[in-house]
Amino acid sequence: MSAAPLYRADDLECYAAALLAGAGLPADDAALVAAVVVQADLDGVESHGLGRLANYLERLRRGVVNPRPQLRLVRQQGATALLDADNGMGQIAAVRAMEEAIRLAQSHGIGWVAVRRSNHFGATSFYVGQAVAVGMIGLALTNSPPGMAPYGGRVARLGTNPIGLGFPRAGGDPIVIDMATSAVARGQIIKADRAGQPIPPGVAVDAAGVATTDAAAALRGALLPMAGPKGYALALAFELLCGALSGAALAPEIPSFFDNWEQPSNVGHVLAAINIGAFGDAEEFGARAAWLAETLTATPPAEGHAGVLVPGERRAALARARRASGVPVAATTLALLAPHGAALGVPPPEPITPGA
């Protein structure tokens, strides 16, 4: 199989922003959503990168998502707030919510913002990165349409409900945890289906509830929770925090992102920030985080493993490498975007020569 063509990250951002602006987003919002999308590709999380953009554009084109929402804080009490996203892009709502969480944390030591009436927001790592960038701890949660069966069941009833956590570390990349509560993210199944590749055993069942390694069959069936009942319990907890607490929809009420062209999603998020200085010395925290990370990575490797990594290290290193040398984008991804570009008069970016 030939390698995917490489593109400059800046060119991909400009391309994505032009498509989003053409679909009705204000220029600043289009640039922000594009930055979130391309950052996922830089991080190697292609399932939440440009591979999602065609779906965003189609939902905007059909009016399922509001391109010019009026975001507003409908409640605020102490360190908490509730943001109504007015059915806008999830990325815009999540960034705004984390900005508010950081503001609250500066005054109260912690900021917790729930979001309702939103949409798919991509990878959680972008938003926890906002908090880490100002020396705080970040938390990001979201619910999503049914894609995962509860433990012991065979029909999807919960979303893959991811969690993101970010921690500053002195002298190194931040510690960033970004994971679904399903055995694999649904986006990885979609990516495998587009590429005609199998999925790992033990992560999904087909529509009859039979274990499968066929990506298309898994999309018609259900993903399984990570760690069995533990992943199920976490997904349930995040569902209640994101959906019930905010007044957003719960998973069984959320229509599919991929074939619903009429109903708003009403997805819920939680964005939170913790001001380390409210608990102690922020520099000492960063140093202790660095010591712990170094202690973990110094662990002798187990058989068959190259060694221990700290969450976030691989992504950060890959993002630097791709920023310098180019971002691979599958031809199938660009093919999905081509009709939108043609309709809007937006030409695709030019690939670059490896090593140039």
Distance CA 121, CA 267 (A): 9
| Helices vs strands, H then E, count in the chain | 11, 11
Helix (H) or strand (E) holding 244: none
What confidence tier does 331 reach under pLDDT thresholds 50, 70, 90?
very high
Q: Judge whether 305 counts as a catalytic residue.
A: no
Give the pLDDT score at 355: 63
Q: What CATH number is given for 1-61+326-356 in this structure?
A: 1.10.1530.10
Position 183 pLDDT exceeds 90: yes
Give the pLDDT score at 203: 94
Q: What percent of the chain has pLDDT over 90?
A: 94
Give the pLDDT score at 187: 80
Which residues of 22-150 form beta strands (DSSP E)?
72-77, 80-84, 110-118, 137-142
Position 147 pLDDT exceeds 60: yes
Mean of the pLDDT values across residues 142-149?
96
Position 1 pLDDT exceeds 60: no
Distance CA 140, CA 98 (A): 9
Distance CA 10, CA 54 (A): 19
Tell me which of 48, 108, 120, 340 is the catalytic residue: 120
Mean of the pLDDT values across residues 268-284?
98
Position 356 pLDDT exceeds 90: no
Rg (CA), the chain: 20
User: What is the domain partition of the chain in residue ranges?
Assistant: 1-61+326-356
What confidence tier does 307 reach under pLDDT thresholds 50, 70, 90?
very high
pTM for this entry: 0.94
The pLDDT mean for the chain works out to 96
Total Cβ atoms within 10 A of residue 237: 14
Distance CA 113, CA 111 (A): 7
- Encode pLDDT of 206-218 as tens digits: 999 999 999 999 9
